[in-house]
Chain A
Amino acid sequence: MKPLLLLGMLWLAANASPASAQDIECPDPRLAADLPREIRTWFRNPDGSCVQCSIGMCGVDQNVPAAATLLWDTQYGSRERGGSGPSRVSAYCNRREIRAFNITGASTWDWMKWAAATGRPAAIGAGSAHFQTLMGYDPSSGTWYVCNNNSPARIDQYDEASFRRLHLASGQWVVILDYPPHPERARYARWW
């Protein structure tokens, strides 16, 4: 009994916490998304709306107001609160004319890597029955960067194995907005 209990607790610990506690903050070349901490905290999960929180962050990053305002009553539509499945996401995206890829199954891994490589965030299944925002992926170190809408002030880091468990724990489902990525924060440099 004791070893089983111990194993269970170890498994829980491995799935519940990020692999690394090093701080990383936007903007950072390792991150695909560029969302300042202040803006991420707007999307703290208020009432079990983790899917909309995650898509909302993507909406800000890609400058898609109809997606960014999912949680609230605005001219883009009534607030979408509470739990979601792929059908509900599909329905409100159609209603708000939000172009998105609604992906389930084994190809989510390729899509997440595509999103990160092209400078896009992704709303992803991460943790048991939970959605979070994929902020980036560094293939050279095998590190995944994820922002949890229950703790939006920080960006968690996972190695490949931890991230695999994290994603599988929720089921392989990813939502990626079908819009251009954000430009880098612009600055002047005397190039001429």
Chain B
Amino acid sequence: MRAWLLMFTMFLSSGLLWAQEAVPEVDQAEVLRRGDLVQVVGDGIRSHDHDAFAAAMGPPASDADKWFISVVSMQGCAGCEKLKKDWTTSPWLLALANPNDAKQSWAHYAIYDKDDRSQAFRFEGLKISTFPTILVQPPRSKRYGDPSIVVYQGIYKGDPEKLAREITLAIRQYIQKLQTPVGPVRAYEQQRIGADPPWQPVPRVDPWNPTPVPGPQFPTVDPTIPPAPPAQPTPAPTPAPAFPWSAVLTLMTAGFSLPAAVALVVWAVYTIRARRQAAGLKPIVDQATLDRVLEQLKKLADQPKQSTSGT
């Protein structure tokens, strides 16, 4: 009996405690009074227009297929301010994301401050040292693969069209890769590349410094994802050989000499080749053929003079 009395007392006390908490925490009576109601608040002209927008309505359409565009900025950064401003006015950037109308925006757009401790964890895996840095990630729906993958990373140099073109190009290339059977999306998840970014690292210190000259200045380093394709290696120009004066003197003083003639021929070949390369023209013969010809000429020049006298 005592045990039951104790339990009953505990039950009553917990009920009283709940009753005390119920008063201040949530106004349940108002919830009941409101009934079925969806109120849209805090959005300019819609804010107090209760009658017009308080009608019951269902949730909006899903926006889980939208791409993510994140701008990582910092305080006191002229380039960051210019980008924010340009993104509200440039038709090139508005075509990608509309900061003033999230519902009409093609992509989810958000600005993050590098010093905001509440958001820092989102970009811990990235190397970002220049601001503003723009990041593009696939939609949450996974329709275009793993939504955590950085499809584009770049900085802003004041040209909205260039930035927009870079972003769209990166997305196009990414989607093309997704559609190729060789590289399924799952494979990307296994290809972590660790701490080394796949593009030229940015400087540790932001090169931007305020100057008396009005107008923003932009960093000169431009890390991008995807990285630009490597430039085609250009063959080293063949140095023009010195004129073989000794061969000419030999020919003039001693008469015809095969080594001297070969030296003149070699000089002529190298001179013509160097001039064609300097003019951007293709050499008449490739390097391997030339080497073989020169080898033959060298052997010819090195042959000892055959005796013509009989025995």
Contacts and interface: CB of A to CB of B under 8 A. Distances in A.
B38 A103 contact: yes
A180 B108 contact: yes
A93 B41 contact: yes
A110 B59 contact: yes
A50 B22 CA distance: 11
Interface stretch (B188-196, B255-263, B303-311): B188-196
A105 B191 contact: no
A99 B42 contact: yes
A104 B14 CA distance: 28
Contact of A190 (B30, B123, B137, B193): B193
Contacts of A96: 42
Given A84-B27, A106-B36, A185-B125, A114 B62 contact: yes
Contacts of B36: 104-107
Contacts of B28: 129, 170-171
Interface string A67-101: 01000000000000011111111100110111111
B193 A189 contact: yes
B68 interface: yes
B296 interface: no
Interface in B15-55: 18, 21-32, 34-43, 47-48
Interface string B238-272: 00000000000000000000000000000000000
Contacts of A8: 11
B25 A129 contact: yes
B126 to A, nearest CB: 6
Interface string B263-300: 00000000000000000000000000000000000000
Interface string A159-192: 0000000000011110000111111111111111
Contacts of B114: none
A86 B173 CA distance: 47
Interface residues of A, number: 70
A186 B24 contact: no
A144 interface: no
A188 B125 contact: yes
Interface residues of B, number: 80
A117 B24 contact: no
A130 B189 CA distance: 40
B18 A128 contact: yes
B25 A183 contact: no
A119 interface: yes
Given A105-B37, A190-B191, A117 B4 contact: no
B150 interface: yes
Nearest to A59: B118
B218 interface: no
A51 B26 contact: yes
B40 A178 contact: yes
A71 to B, nearest CB: 13
A68 B117 CA distance: 12
A68 B29 CA distance: 26
Nearest to B37: A104
A151 interface: no
A159 to B, nearest CB: 23
Contact of A5 (B4, B30, B37): B4
A128 B17 CA distance: 11
B48 to A, nearest CB: 7
Contact of A183 (B7, B147, B189, B197): B147
B115 interface: no
Given A171-B26, A171-B32, 12 more contacts: A5-B8, A63-B112, A104-B36, A107-B59, A117-B62, A129-B18, A129-B28, A180-B108, A183-B110, A184-B146, A189-B149, A190-B193
Q: Closest 4 A-B residue pairs measured CB to CB?
A: A85-B27, A105-B36, A114-B59, A129-B22
9 contacts: A8-B11, A87-B30, A100-B41, A104-B36, A178-B102, A180-B109, A181-B108, A183-B135, A187-B125
Interface of A: 2, 5, 8-9, 12, 34, 36, 39, 48, 50-51, 60, 63, 65, 68, 82-90, 93-94, 96-107, 110-111, 113-115, 117-119, 125, 128-131, 170-173, 178-192
